[in-house]
Amino acid sequence: MSNRLHIEYLLSQTIDQSASNCDSLLYQEYQELLNCLNQLPRQIPSKYFYDAEGSLLFEQICQLPEYYLTRTETEILENSAQAIAQITGNCQIVELGSGSATKTRILLSAYTHLAKGQPVFYVPIDISESILTSSAEQLCQQYPTLRVHGLVGDYEIALSKLPPCPVSQRLICFLGSTLGNFSPKQCNAFFDRLALAMVRHDYFLLGVDCHKSVEILTRAYNDSAQVTAQFNLNILHHVNRRFGMNFVPELFRHEAIYNSELQQIEMYLISQVDQTVVMPWANQTLHIKAGERILTEISRKFSPMDIKQQLQAKGLELSASFSDRQNWYSLLLFRRS
Ligand code: AVJ
């Protein structure tokens, strides 16, 4: 099996150069956090949701009755994976933010079936080494014809460092509506980088959450079991541990609202009291007033036709689109012309 599985660390080069580079990376993160916390409204980058505890909580969110996103995308994939594989033919499958790769299995089943015993090449990319390694090992066991070359690191960096493509084209997958975490500006920059990483006839498969009633959207981010609230509050535990801060999560309350002007869910942590939070390394104290909000996430909702136009401007043509019966969620397949 080991000859079918290869893991590459995108950051290892810089870290190996000198021991202090590790510290400076953490320091950069710290500066970024400090910057975000001093904005109006104060912000904490969403990537800090996903420590070990937060990743478990997110898996739980995906099972919630109110959180329709994962369930709907899975259903669409089950109904369309064969058709997608038929359209693209055998591809090197690159997945941005592969995570536990549960949904990927549906695609890989279709592609291994199509390849009729020929190797299928899969390039999962994830920031979390443990989740990438364990899911890659499982996939190799499950699919004897699979060759996995995993990349540990930021997927935006990974786009410029993809391993060579051994078949005629690539399929880059970006599922789960993670695109929704990007502001319009970040989204545009991401599309530029994506188009640059693709050559003529490569494919891009994108999963996006669509516009729908405010009630359904708000409920999906304010579940009755309060798992999303725990997930949101856990970000404070994580930054406390990571940066030696002293947020008291119990003094904050979770809120998720739909901003209809910007067409996005906004998740906040609202301070219940006046409090001071110390940032020890920067010698700075934050004075957070009662009622003050910290923005932890935006989750934008999309219209497939808007995305189609944006990607058309980058040289990608829509090949096929798949949706659920209610048009709540959309899976879009593009081809670089
Ligand atoms: C993983 C970013 C797509 O925005 O719906 C779930 C994260 N936040 N519940 C989303 C999330 C609150 C999720 N994404």
Joined together, the tokens standing for residue 207 give 């999963």
What distance, in Å, lies between the first and last C-alpha atoms of the chain? 37
Strand partners, 267: 256, 297
The CB of 99 under 6 Å from ligand 1? The reply is: no
In ligand 1, the atom with minimum distance to the C-alpha of 177 is 3
pLDDT for position 255: 98
Rounded-to-integer distance, Cα 121 and Cα 324, Å? 29
In 3D space, the residue among 146, 69, 60, 44 whose CA is nearest the CA of residue 100 turns out to be 60
In 3D space, the residue among 128, 172, 123 whose CA is nearest the CA of residue 148 turns out to be 123
Rounded-to-integer distance, Cα 306 and Cα 116, Å? 37
The CB of 228 under 6 Å from ligand 1? The reply is: yes
In ligand 1, the atom with minimum distance to the C-alpha of 297 is 8
Rounded-to-integer distance, Cα 95 and Cα 91, Å? 12
Ligand 1 centroid to Cα of residue 20, in Å, is: 34
- Structural contact between residues 179 and 208, judged by C-beta atoms closer than 8 angstroms: yes
pLDDT for position 13: 44
The CB of 207 under 6 Å from ligand 1? The reply is: no
The CB of 72 under 6 Å from ligand 1? The reply is: no
Please state the separation of Cα 270 from the chain's center in Å.
25
Please state the separation of Cα 273 from the chain's center in Å.
33
Ligand 1 centroid to Cα of residue 111, in Å, is: 28
pLDDT for position 1: 56
pLDDT for position 109: 97
Q: Is the pTM value of this prediction over 0.75?
A: yes
pLDDT for position 16: 45
Give Cα separations from 236 to 44, 86, 277 (angstroms): 9, 46, 11
| pLDDT averaged per 10 residues, the chain (length 337) | 86 49 77 95 95 92 97 97 98 90 93 96 90 92 96 87 96 97 96 97 98 98 98 97 95 98 98 94 92 98 98 98 98 97
Whether the link from the prior residue into 280 is cis, omega within 30° of 0, is: no
**Nearest CA owner, ligand 1 atom 5:** 299
Strand partners, 104: none
Q: Which of 183, 299, 301, 328 for mutating ligand 1's site (highest number of atoms within 8 Å of CB)?
A: 299
